[in-house]
Structure 1
């Protein structure tokens, strides 16, 4: 008896995906709930599990685009497990020969793990596996620290080459690879946002002295009580919610010829992942405390890094916050996350001389940018919104008092 492996429905708007990697080979014996493949769509990357145990027969190859509902493999349940357990188990747990090299040992891991090992120069043998029977998973590789880098990688910068030296004649000057569905969709949405909205950006700067002092004073007590650190993002989320309540015109969107006014505060937090930018949504931020927001952000960051983000996690936000400052960005003009009408860009904190009470003082300053849809948001509303965010951060007591 053979059980079909069918591409499952992942969301109303998703009709197909690309098989990014097979984690098994033709003829392998698989256990129930073993990861068989990774499927990339224009929104998420998901893993397919075996519904039954048996010998697998592949009907599609890596890189194939497959429709939702398509049969991509079968599992023969009548086949018995090989002596000593499944082929994957025997490969992954077998002791290497004395002369076996790390490269040969990597053949026992999944194609996704091998791909990350090659792209990021990480030795799978040095990574602690959390998968079945200690197998190194894709998530383990993405979380690997620099100490897990392959020996061939050197920490010091290579010596500069003479500018006049020509490249080796046998080396490739360019490489070409297919754009992933997720990257293609990101590109499509970013271009559409610029073409469809009358996008404008306004700027301001915020003195982070009070926020940094607050974190320093209460960080230990906050961690002890809540188990997470008090970060900047939860304070920015609260400042944004406060500003949206004061300037509700930003919390609206265009639907055809109608303006839809939102009365809830689901805030999207842009997260950079190896697959591209994702924006998971923290729900009902007006009802959450700082610790709850921090935990939600940590949870989403972990899910995004491990490729576990779902469609529901990315849907329904009314406003987005993006933090280019973690990469050192000093100033930028963020692009709207359609159909939202506003997005806040955070930037790096820099010590700068500023005038305070008639005297020059060195303060930790951050530039803020708000991009907005000028079709429904007037300049006065956008500027007022950004000033409200600035005021809440420079005087955090406003967030507690709701003023």
Structure 2
């Protein structure tokens, strides 16, 4: 008999919560099959089967809090059991009578099994809990899980099937006549609660100030239009704007070490490396995967890594090591249409750069009015650590490097 344990959490993560079991006791699984998901305050971790065998006992249930390396299930390698891959039933509920299997052709359940019972079988404990809290019947929700099954994430923001007769578990229509006042209550995830607490702490515990500037994006846009096809053909990734901003920020951090530093109590920690976090909005909340040693990365390296980490963020596959650390952060609200904002610090970092939408605006150039693609830049910084002069000069440096990309190549 083997033990299935929670992953070993890093020091920055105290515990986690089991949000979903993908198997039931006695179920046959294959090596690396997904068994359970554990949500921490930073990332959702997957627990997989160590070998072919059977999950003989589930020790920790959905919503149970687990610590690093806690026993969560027992496993017998090489054993055979049920091949039913439906998610686990709630162990706190009485066992349902054995029902006959549904016909192989996908028709109605055979004698002795009701349609409701068959649907209930395909719901995990986390889904049933979300259904109870929201009053939305999972049978009416479009599922994105394996085989079209409804997941906890689907229940958090349900997309209803195209059926005007859909009703909730209480029998009331989910979407009734025009003018119906509806509301839904769902618990915050650990990740979102942590993000909320960190943002509130940043605004209360730092002397945060924001300085603004604007950058003419035409030189960068012209360069991108000229070389994007060659760049993609050579490196296999698209040439975006973020890579140049990352490289420009890295150069500016070299010139202004205080912006790359952090506060630890009464000590100032100056970092001799450049790890830049890129804020990403995902279905689970705001996450900030980190690009390591950006001073050693080419623009192609940056584009490739951003694409990789962004995909992991959307799929909830980021590892803790990919989200910890970071000496500076870049947030691009422009992808959502933001014209101007004041980004909030990501402690213990002392500064964050905010990028925004590119809009054509009339600008005075050599005494003449020209229509140019302009972007507002914002730098929020901790005034306890960074003086206004340094912050302004840092932002001006980024502006100059973006407006004349050749300066990066010539090390000017």
TM-score where L is the length of structure 2:
0.81
1:378 maps to which residue?
Answer: 387
Provide the C-alpha distance between the structure 1 equivalents of 2:8 and 2:223, rounded to a whole number of angstroms.
46
1:27 maps to which residue?
Answer: 26
Secondary structure class of the residue paired with 2:80:
coil
1:339 CA drift (Å): 0.9
Provide the C-alpha distance between the structure 1 equivalents of 2:104 and 2:346, rounded to a whole number of angstroms.
50
What are the ranges of 5 or more consecutive residues in structure 2 without an aligned counterpart? Answer: 87-101, 110-114, 132-136, 165-176
Change (3 A) 1:234 1:201: same
1:88 maps to which residue?
Answer: 85
Residues 209 and 382 in structure 2, CA contact (< 8 A), matched pair in contact too? yes
- Aligned residue-pair number: 373
Secondary structure class of the residue paired with 1:322:
strand
Provide the C-alpha distance between the structure 2 equivalents of 1:316 and 1:120, rounded to a whole number of angstroms.
42
2:217 maps to which residue?
Answer: 208
Provide the C-alpha distance between the structure 2 equivalents of 1:119 and 1:251, rounded to a whole number of angstroms.
51
Provide the C-alpha distance between the structure 1 equivalents of 2:105 and 2:122, rounded to a whole number of angstroms.
10
Residues 23 and 111 in structure 1, CA contact (< 8 A), matched pair in contact too? no
Could you report, residue by residue, the CA deviation over 1:298-344 in whole angstroms, capped at 9, with x for unpaired residues?
Answer: 11111212222122111221110000111111111101111111100
Could you report, residue by residue, the CA deviation over 1:232-262 in whole angstroms, capped at 9, with x for unpaired residues?
Answer: 1101001111111222221112222221112
Secondary structure class of the residue paired with 1:399:
helix
Residues 96 and 105 in structure 1, CA contact (< 8 A), matched pair in contact too? no
Provide the C-alpha distance between the structure 2 equivalents of 1:50 and 1:15, rounded to a whole number of angstroms.
24
1:67 maps to which residue?
Answer: 67
Aligned match of 1:357 in 366, 382, 388?
A: 366
1:136 CA drift (Å): 6.6
Larger deviation: 237-246 or 200-209? 237-246
Provide the C-alpha distance between the structure 1 equivalents of 2:142 and 2:180, rounded to a whole number of angstroms.
30
1:284 maps to which residue?
Answer: 293
Change (3 A) 1:218 1:174: same
Aligned match of 1:368 in 377, 384, 387?
A: 377
Change (3 A) 1:108 1:120: closer
Say whether 1:393 aligns with 2:388: no
Residues 349 and 365 in structure 1, CA contact (< 8 A), matched pair in contact too? yes
1:96 CA drift (Å): 4.7
Q: How does 1:106-121 map to 2 (within 5 A)?
A: none
Provide the C-alpha distance between the structure 2 equivalents of 1:137 and 1:19, rounded to a whole number of angstroms.
19
Provide the C-alpha distance between the structure 1 equivalents of 2:139 and 2:349, rounded to a whole number of angstroms.
35
TM-score where L is the length of structure 1:
0.82
1:179 maps to which residue?
Answer: 188
Provide the C-alpha distance between the structure 2 equivalents of 1:398 and 1:343, rounded to a whole number of angstroms.
23
Residues 354 and 360 in structure 1, CA contact (< 8 A), matched pair in contact too? yes
1:314 maps to which residue?
Answer: 323
Secondary structure class of the residue paired with 2:198:
helix
Residues 109 and 136 in structure 1, CA contact (< 8 A), matched pair in contact too? no
Provide the C-alpha distance between the structure 2 equivalents of 1:94 and 1:394, rounded to a whole number of angstroms.
66
